[in-house]
Amino acid sequence: MGFSKLTLLLLLTLISILTAPSSTAFNCTTPTNATSNCHALIDFVPTNATTLNAVKTLFNMTHLRTLLGANNLPLSTPADSPVPAASKLLVPFSCTCLNGSGISKRRPIYTVKAGDGLDYIASLFSRLVTYQEIAQVNGIPDPNQIEVGQQLWIPLPCSCDHVDGLEVVHYGHVVEAGSSVQKIAEEYGTTEETLLRINGMPDPNKLLAGQVLDVPLKACASSVSNDSFDSPLLVSNNTYVFTANNCVKCQCSSANNWTLQCEPSYLNSTLWETCPSMQCQDSNQLYIGNTTSSTCNQTTCAYTGYNTNTILTKLVAQSTCSTPNTASKMGLHGSSWNFFFVAVHLALLCLHL
């Protein structure tokens, strides 16, 4: 009988964990498979002072430059640079959809140490997830029973969904005290209605400090083809990423008309012995990022993706001469008629005299 009660207790505990509402879940319905994912960002707000390198390690990033790019910091930034307590640092990661919610794709992984508890582990990740969510994705029936050396998947909230028909970078924004939905919308170039809708919030007055809000960020337009290994390459304003096995650096800036700017990274490739050619096939002079100009035309060698053996490029032409608008043409046309009428009046005046 005692065994049956224990079994029932464990079963009820498991059910409560699996059905517990998630305070940070983002809607994510985009079909994904084992090899597909999208790029996402989230705020990390450390309780205690730390360093860039410690954050890189905590979130299982292979290279510090990944973290530097998300925060638009120079590549020369030292790894031991301080990150003050309660400051915000953008953390990039891969996202995938699972049962209608977005979740970080099997990263980060945390290895349990002596004295750790799930709630403490959640606090290390600035409570971007709850201890119940950690227990759920790792199949832990009793949150009090974890073992030293056990590896735990930390399920960061994210999404890969389009918003209003556009591909965006979903950003997990940690709400600051005194903020509002309208203020956040204005700061990140979206609308209050959009934020309320994608976050399932019927009342903007229910926004809470510390809440992780799904904020869609506009991404720079690019020439990356749909069959490229890094498609879709979504990069948000004031961030940069490395792609094509580390051979190409791409940066987004609203100052460049929201067009992705890519160039050779001049770093060692993570897969190839040397980076493949980045020269545009139809040009003997232009490489990725190079531009040439002539009268009313500008031609750029654009990055269009990569595959197993090749970095793909194409020449993109753009007109740089403005075409007189209709109003200007009408203004000139009107001026011509005015001149004509003045001339006629002068002629009649002369005849009269």
Residue 51 belongs to a domain: no
Give the per-residue pLDDT at 33.
Answer: 56
Does residue 344 surpass a pLDDT of 60?
no
Residue 293 belongs to a domain: yes
Residue 285 belongs to a domain: yes
Question: pLDDT tens digits for 12-38?
Answer: 333 333 333 345 689 999 875 544 589
DSSP one-letter string for 275-311: PPP-B-TT-SS-BTT-EEEETTEEEEEEEEEE-SS-E
Question: pLDDT tens digits for 172-222?
Answer: 999 999 999 999 999 999 999 999 999 999 999 999 999 999 999 999 999
- Give the Cα separation of 8 and 300 in Å (integer): 67
Where are the extended beta strands (E) located within the chain? 38-44, 50-51, 82-83, 89-98, 101-104, 109-111, 151-153, 157-158, 168-174, 212-218, 239-243, 248-252, 261-264, 291-294, 297-306, 311-319
Question: Do 227 and 305 form a contact (C-beta atoms < 8 A)?
Answer: yes
Q: Token pair for residue 149?
A: 């050396």
Residue 74 belongs to a domain: no
Residue 338 belongs to a domain: no
Give the per-residue pLDDT at 322.
Answer: 66
Give the per-residue pLDDT at 324.
Answer: 55
- Give the Cα separation of 66 and 286 in Å (integer): 28
Q: What average pLDDT does range 284-308 have in this prediction?
A: 90
Q: H or E segment at 198?
A: helix 192-198
In whole numbers, what is the pLDDT of the chain averaged over residues? 86
Q: H or E segment at 341?
A: helix 326-352
Strand partners, 64: none
Q: What is the pTM of this model?
A: 0.82
Query: Beta 248-252 vs 261-264: how paired, if at all?
Result: antiparallel
Residue 64 belongs to a domain: no
> How many structural domains does the chain have?
1
Residue 90 belongs to a domain: no
Question: Do 82 and 51 form a contact (C-beta atoms < 8 A)?
Answer: yes
Where are the extended beta strands (E) located within 165-204? 168-174
- Give the Cα separation of 294 and 288 in Å (integer): 19
Domain with 312 in it: 239-319
Residue 302 belongs to a domain: yes
Give the per-residue pLDDT at 293.
Answer: 85
